[in-house]
Every structure is written in C-alpha cells, then in structure tokens.
Amino acid sequence: MTALFRESSRDGDRSRHCAHAAPRPGEAAWWHVMGYESGPPRTLAQAEQRFRTLVAGAHPDRGGSAERMHQLLCARAQARRQLTP
C-alpha cells in the first residue's frame, strides 16, 4: 500500500496521498468512492465536506479499516486534482 503514496508539500503542510492520478482498471471513480452516484460534485468544497464526514467513521483509530481510509485518501487526492482550477 505504501507504494501508492508519495510525500508532497502543499501550502507548507506535508501530506500523504495517492500517487496515481486516475482510477486504475477495476477501481471505482473517486466520486463513487465518496458516495456520489450521479457524478462528481460541482465544487471542491463539497468534496472536502463529504470526505470529512466519511473519514470520521473510516479512520482506523475509530474502528474503521486502513483499506477504506486509503480509498478515501486517494479519492480526495483525485478530487483535488480534478476540481481545483
């Protein structure tokens, strides 16, 4: 799993996120991972809010799984690349 992550500096904050830019064959689109059924949200703010809501229950420290957390982190990284102007 660590091979999918890379370190980056964003606004002075070091964060880990998914290294691949698009879903790999067989993976769901990032908006499906975040629970949007009919396509991506219109704004990054909407995607970030959904991420925060989902991650509250998916974090391993709160009873969630590392796999689900990884999926959400990758989905957020892809959303940031797609929705940021």
Residue range 6-28, pLDDT digits in tens:
444 343 333 455 655 566 666 78
CATH of the domain at 63: 1.10.287
Residue 55 maps to a domain: yes
Residue 35 maps to a domain: yes
Q: Taking the model in full, what pTM does it have?
A: 0.70
Residue range 57-76, pLDDT digits in tens:
999 999 999 999 999 999 99
The confidence score (pLDDT) of residue 84 equals 72
The confidence score (pLDDT) of residue 2 equals 38
Residues with Cβ within 8 Å of residue 73, at least 6 apart in sequence? 16, 17, 18
Please tell me the total count of domains within the chain.
1
Residue 16 maps to a domain: no
Q: How far apart are CA 9 and CA 1, in angstroms?
A: 20
Q: Is-contact 56 18, C-beta < 8 A?
A: no
Q: Which domain holds residue 59?
A: 23-83
Tokens encoding 14: 């070091």
Q: How far apart are CA 58 and CA 38, in angstroms?
A: 22
Query: Which helix (DSSP H) or strand (DSSP E) does residue 79 occupy?
Result: helix 66-83
The confidence score (pLDDT) of residue 21 equals 56
The confidence score (pLDDT) of residue 27 equals 73
